[in-house]
Structure 1
Amino acid sequence: MSFDWPVYHLGVIDSTNTEAQRRAKAGQIENCWLVAEAQTAGRGRLQRPWLSSSGNLFSTAFFREPGGISVAARLPFATALAVSDMAAIVAPGAAVRLKWPNDARVDQAKLSGILIETGGQGQDFWVAAGIGINVTESPEGTGQAATCIHALRGDTLVSAEDVLSVLRETFARRLEQARQSFEPLREDWLKAAEGLGQTVRVNVSDSPVVGVFEDMAQDGALILRLPNGERQMIRAGDVSLVGRT
């Protein structure tokens, strides 16, 4: 499993996911972790920049996925749960909630960024699970509140390497769960879901949809109960609690 995969420390690079893509194009697909000291072009979901403050964790789990796209589609949720599991170990007082589809937050402040990318086909189908975690610093100027492991712990005793060591194990467990079935993963995710049962706003192609976050579908879609009583499934968009960010 992934806690046994080799870890490659890459120094300062553009981004660990971009490095994974380069390796895949060169035919160098290997189950491993790619870790940067800093990133000059880190990115998140929807190609948003991910600010790479020194001392934080910038990593990608790069691996062949025999289950193909069906398993890969579960990984945003599995990876968010792995981050939550990690935080429960290294910052046990933190109440991490998961904002659909894959943000890990504490009191509406973002702790991590996750970007799942895939490529190839058949035996060469690969996944790059990019995971950035705020360990020592909470980036500013991102347009949303952020937090970090040091702030959640109230001390500076944990390093990015310490966080990675725990994350490798929690990710391995959640990856195995994702490969088995989505339903137990879905149930675990819903237990930690931010905004479940509350009114949320989802920006879908710049058009806001407001409704009560009622459930998550078997394919991971967000299920909203609209004001007119109808249910709507949303498969891509930015979610915010009404009255919050």
Structure 2
Amino acid sequence: MKFKILRFKKLISTNYTAIRIIRSSNLMYGMIIAERQINGRGQYGRKWISLKGNLFVSFFYNLDNMNLNMTQITKINCVLVKKLISKYYKKRIIYKKPNDLLIKGKKICGILQETINKLNKKFLIVGIGINLVKNPIIKDYPIINLNDLINKEISKKKN
């Protein structure tokens, strides 16, 4: 089973693109990375503000042989992303239900999980947005980015 990484300069949203790829191909596993999203989505249909320089990625995979429920999968995904962020920021990172990570009471990351069915197979799409370099302005919702926390620029490219 092949895992494919697809990179885009700009797209509607990484989750939307993952859904299109699942429906139109035979890929069972993959990752979508975008520099910009035109219409990123958050939990409950909210808009995810996608500023250039931040991280926008979606993973998708077949769920048929997985014996976990969505709550367990959400917690696992939050722990994995928290572990990734903690490589750069060593202090406390809080998981806020249902799908946010907070530092100093401010949102640094959101995770959106969606499932779709294709030919009797169930797929999970996990969209992750991490504020690396810029804070989107959201009324009455404090936001933070990783660069401001560590006073060092984070590169999205693998060194």
TM-score normalised over the length of structure 1: 0.59
Q: Is the 8 A contact 1:62 1:128 kept in 2?
A: yes
Q: Which residue of 2 aligns with 1:34?
A: 32
State how far apart, in whole Å, the 2-side matches of 1:85 and 1:133 are: 13
Could you say which residue in structure 1 is the equivalent of 2:145? Answer: 148
The 4+ residue runs of structure 1 with deviation greater than 6 A are: none
- Provide, for residues 127-184 of structure 1, a one-character-per-residue CA deviation record: whole Å limited to 9, x for no partner: 110000001111113531111110121221x12335xx9xxxxxxxxxxxxxxxxxxx
CA displacement, residues 68-105 of structure 1 (integer Å, 9 cap, x when unaligned):
5844442221111111101111222x310111122100
Equivalent residue, structure 1, for 2:109: 112
RMSD value, Cα: 2.2
Q: Is the 8 A contact 1:118 1:125 kept in 2?
A: yes
Contact 1:119-1:127 within 8 A present in 2 as well: yes
Structure with greater strand percent: 2
CA–CA distance in structure 1, aligned partners of residues 151 and 11 of structure 2: 30
Query: Aligned in 2, Cα 1:142/1:81: closer, same or farther, shift over 3 Å?
Result: farther
Q: Which residue is 2:132 aligned to?
A: 135
Find the partner of 1:99 among 96, 101, 120: 96
TM-score normalised to structure 2 length: 0.89
3-state DSSP of counterpart to 1:74: helix
How far residue 25 of structure 1 moved from its aligned partner, in angstroms, is 1.9
User: Is the radius of gyration larger for structure 1 or structure 2?
Assistant: 1
Match of 1:55 in 2: 53
| Aligned positions, number | 158
1:27-60 deviations in Å (ceiling 9; x for gaps): 4433111001100000110010000000000000
Runs of 5+ in structure 2 lacking a partner?
A: none
Map 1:58-97 onto structure 2 (within 5 A).
58-67=56-65, 70-92=68-90, 94-97=91-94
Find the partner of 2:155 among 155, 159, 167.
Answer: 159
Higher relative contact order (CA 8 A, sep 6+): 2
| Change in 2 beyond 3 A, CA 1:122/1:76 | farther
Higher relative helix content? 1
CA distance in 2, matches of 1:110, 1:148: 8
